[in-house]
């Protein structure tokens, strides 16, 4: 679960901050410090669904703005997937919604 959450955050931050002429954003970059696997692991162990939603929403918001916001087709789909994830109420139910979000972010990289 933590790895999947970290991957979603990484893909979001890549969309938001990575440029063609710069080095790629990696998991150990300072930019990822608030979204590391250990941070998500702590939230998962605590059962902090709200905290996980907030972290993912922060990242998705950055990615959504980077692709033109909800007025663009890519942003609309990202918003729809993020809303599905946000509607999940238990950590046990995260996997399908989080997987769909990760796959979409990977595809639009």
pLDDT tens digits along 62-108: 999 999 999 999 999 999 999 999 999 999 999 999 999 999 999 99
Of all residues in the chain, the percent with pLDDT exceeding 70 is 100
Angle between helices 49-66 and 73-87 (to 10 degrees): 180
73-82 residue pLDDT tens: 999 999 999 9
Q: What is the mean pLDDT of residues 19-45?
A: 92
Tokens of 16: 């938001």
Q: What is the mean pLDDT of residues 41-57?
A: 97
Q: How far apart are CA 12 and CA 34, in angstroms?
A: 13
pTM of the model as a whole: 0.93
């Amino acid at each position: 679960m933590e790895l999947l959450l970290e991957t979603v955050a990484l893909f979001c931050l890549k969309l938001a901050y990575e440029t063609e002429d710069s080095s790629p954003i990696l998991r150990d970059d300072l930019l990822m410090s608030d979204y590391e696997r250990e941070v998500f692991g702590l939230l998962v162990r605590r059962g902090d669904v709200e905290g996980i939603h907030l972290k993912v929403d922060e990242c998705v918001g950055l990615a959504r703005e980077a692709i033109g916001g909800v007025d663009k087709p890519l942003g609309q789909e990202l918003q729809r997937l993020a809303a599905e994830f946000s509607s999940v109420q238990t950590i046990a139910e995260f996997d399908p919604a989080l997987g769909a979000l990760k796959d979409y972010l990977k595809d639009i990289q």
